Amino acid sequence: MKDINFDTYFSRHYPLSSIGKEGQLKLKYRTVLIAGVGGLGTVAAELLCSLGVGNLVLVDYDVIEESNLPRQKLYFPEDIGKAKVEVAEDRLGQRYPFVNITSHAAIIDGLSAPELIKGVDLVIDALDLFSTRKSLFRACHIASIPVIFAGAIADSANLMTFDHSPDNPCYNCVLGNINDDDGQSCAIRGVNPLILHMVVGFQISEALKILLDQAPLLTQTMKIIELNSLEIYDVKFNKLETCSVCNPMDSSPGKPGDIKKGNYEIEGFGSINITSMCGRNTWIIDPSWEINWEIESVVELLKKSPDLYQITVTGDKYVTVFIENSHISLLNTGVTTVKKSDSLETAIRLYTDLMNYIKKNTTNQ
């Protein structure tokens, strides 16, 4: 590439109060992960490069399709069938002289997310599935890495910043009830390329603030953009008192009939979300790490220690064991129900012992 002078290249940013010369140097040492390099992510990548962010990590498992080409402008017709991240890395590298790019053709899930986000300062959520978002958000929440969410469909878009501050709502408070629904996909409802540029413009403006240690504006407010009416409005969100992600689990027994939610960190594993059915001595535990057990193998492992674990019921996708007066049902996804334990502490201890037992005996095989 032709010799380009850093100061000359970015000279138009120096008079800006939002960046300035000092800010420009800071950006050079920042690392941003872009989750998804499709309609939103390709625009985000170009804007972050234009601003002079020094390090980008691109993650997407998808390949380029014909219908991507009108709005995903990093990709050309000859790229159809190639991995998006590889082409994006290549094009951005040719176009922008001051950026280092790392790319992962990977699926983001509970297992990969904590690894992918290691060492990054900020995550740009440019995904199109809420199930994937959930894994990414949860990993970012645990690692305290801010995430800026953006979504677009048809002629509308929305965005919000999640900085994990204890006063601000987390993604689960705001988006926890949304599930992927085929009726809401871009393939069915379409997507206007113009809305992508508008929402990502706002998204990267929030990114710039976070990267330059300024306060982001959308940590309690979702911004909604309607292209057809050119209306932009704000919806205020509060932290949910019952959120199982951002409230530490409170161990008091609670009133019979109440449902309490919270999270707890298990050493060596990660965080678990706990739902407590007050008055029923029942706790439902949902681990944040990815589990996909073959129940038959788990049953075999548990049978090796009949003194410790007494198997009472088994099914294709679950097994129930009796330990210390408690009944523990494990689903193949790792979601576990502990019944009849005397306290939350006992339920967590039994669960942790069981996880350690399975882990130890699986590693030893």
Q: Which residues bind Zn ion (CB under 5 A)?
A: 170, 172-173, 243, 245-246
Nearer to Zn ion, 50 or 275 (CB): 275
- CA-angle at 85, arms to 80 and 91, nearest 5°: 80
Nearer to Zn ion, 150 or 170 (CB): 170
Half-sphere exposure of residue 205: CA atoms within 13 angstroms, side-chain side: 12
Task: State the CB neighbour count (10 A cutoff) for residue 216.
Answer: 19
Nearer to Zn ion, 101 or 173 (CB): 173
Half-sphere exposure of residue 258: CA atoms within 13 angstroms, side-chain side: 10
Contact yes or no for 20/26 (Cβ under 8 A): no
Q: Which residue's beta carbon is nearest to the bound Zn ion?
A: 243
Cα Rg of the chain (Å, integer): 23
Q: Shortest distance, CB of residue 147 to Zn ion, whole angstroms?
A: 13
Q: Shortest distance, CB of residue 236 to Zn ion, whole angstroms?
A: 15
**Number of residues written out for the chain:** 365
Q: How far apart are CA 282 and CA 347, in angstroms?
A: 9
Nearer to Zn ion, 216 or 262 (CB): 262
Q: Number of helices (H) and strands (E), helices first, in the chain? A: 11, 15
Look at residue 261 and give its three-state secondary structure: strand
Q: Shortest distance, CB of residue 148 to Zn ion, whole angstroms?
A: 17
Q: Shortest distance, CB of residue 288 to Zn ion, whole angstroms?
A: 14
Q: Shortest distance, CB of residue 171 to Zn ion, whole angstroms?
A: 7
Nearer to Zn ion, 248 or 315 (CB): 248
Q: Shortest distance, CB of residue 123 to Zn ion, whole angstroms?
A: 17
E runs forming strands in 137-280: 147-153, 156-162, 221-226, 231-236, 259-266, 270-277
Q: How far apart are CA 285 and CA 282, in angstroms?
A: 10
Q: Shortest distance, CB of residue 242 to Zn ion, whole angstroms?
A: 9
Burial of 285 (C-beta count, 10 Å sphere; 0-12/13-18/19+): buried
Nearer to Zn ion, 49 or 175 (CB): 175
Backbone phi and psi for residue 298, each to the nearest 5 degrees, phi listed first: -65, -40
Nearer to Zn ion, 197 or 239 (CB): 239
Q: Shortest distance, CB of residue 137 to Zn ion, whole angstroms?
A: 10
Contact yes or no for 312/302 (Cβ under 8 A): no
Nearer to Zn ion, 8 or 177 (CB): 177
